[in-house]
Amino acid sequence: MSTPIYLSASEAATELGVRPQTLYAYVSRGLIRSIPGPGKQRRYDASDVRRLQGRKDGPGEGGSRPLSGDEVLETRLTLIADGGPYYRGHSATGLARSSTLEAVATLLWDCDTDPFAGKVPAPPPAADPALGPIDRLMMAVAAWPAQDRAAYTLSPVLLAEKGADLLRYGVAALLDTDPSADPVHEQFTKAWTVEPSVAPVLRAALVLVADHELNTSAFAARCAASTRAPLHATLLSGLGAFSGPRHGAASDRVSAWLEEIDEPEDVDRVIGGRLARGEPLPGFGHTVYSGPDPRAECLLAILKEQAGGTPFVDLLPSVIDAGNEFYGLKPNIDFALAAAQKAFSLPEGAGKLLFCGGRIVGWIAHALEQYRIPEQIRPRAAYVGERPS
């Protein structure tokens, strides 16, 4: 077994070409592992440093510089650390054990009063039955000004209430139901006609996916908010990014191969077969967490508590062990969502809908925070094409 190489803080910062403060930020976000060193110093995993440096030094062709790894703005919403996301200093995995999505919304939105105390909005307009839930939601959000006279307001006094209305309205569009004052997880439980024992898993899933710092859809929502687009338009920006197959559909890709596993002998056949064909294993590994995704660990633990003893849930440890043995990776939140979908026979795409319903809270939170920042987001590109002679 090879011995890991560790660097001092100055060595790691020099290799990365960053200040020590940026190195420490990478560690807090789980991008670089560290261990105690001599005295009060710490040592930093050289493989993580060099992998991150490789991402920063990609080839200089148009579009090839990855927009990841470096902090581009400040936020008070979510910290990503070894224990997972922390919403304004509160552990998301801890909140998942007891809080509703609405309670997390009031935390992320920094509310002084309850924005959910008002009346429930009217139902979204009827949509073409051929539309899927995400497209139905985007159509409903685009039509929001038809029912809200103050849809374009940017008043800080009103925005949290507008956010609460849009959450209820958006969940109704996703589920093809009428807006309700019931907690969001109960709305999912009723719409999918599942047993009450499923509700704690759905509640936890919604809380765990509510926000995850500056992911692609959150950044899209913030860009729109920085132009002072109204709240519903910032949601459309986030939804547009979420609808891409590399973001919102991640749990669907997990479900596609997880559906092939029903018996113990299926585990090595399915996962080993993917490895032999050179295929990735969706649901394992994460670009932010170098180790396990704490959100997945939390949701899978709650799933075991609620459905332990059922054949599929009892198979999950074998699936996770095989993913680690064959790919060297740990499960992420998309795997946990897909596992819950299969364990409870939830509708097709249920993991994606839970992800979207919970993330509405995060998109609104990012928009509200961005409205308080005077500058418009306008990064610069590194031009690598032909120059005028």
- Catalytic residues, by residue number, are 286, 334
Position 86, amino acid: Y
Report whether 284 contacts 334 (CB < 8 A). no
Report whether 69 contacts 386 (CB < 8 A). no
CA distance 352 to 357: 9
CA distance 225 to 370: 6
CA distance 79 to 297: 18
User: Can you list the alpha helix ranges (DSSP code H) found in the chain?
Assistant: 9-16, 20-28, 46-56, 92-95, 101-108, 133-142, 156-175, 184-191, 199-208, 216-226, 231-242, 250-258, 264-276, 294-307, 311-327, 333-343, 350-371
* Other CB atoms within 10 Å distance of the CB of residue 39: 6
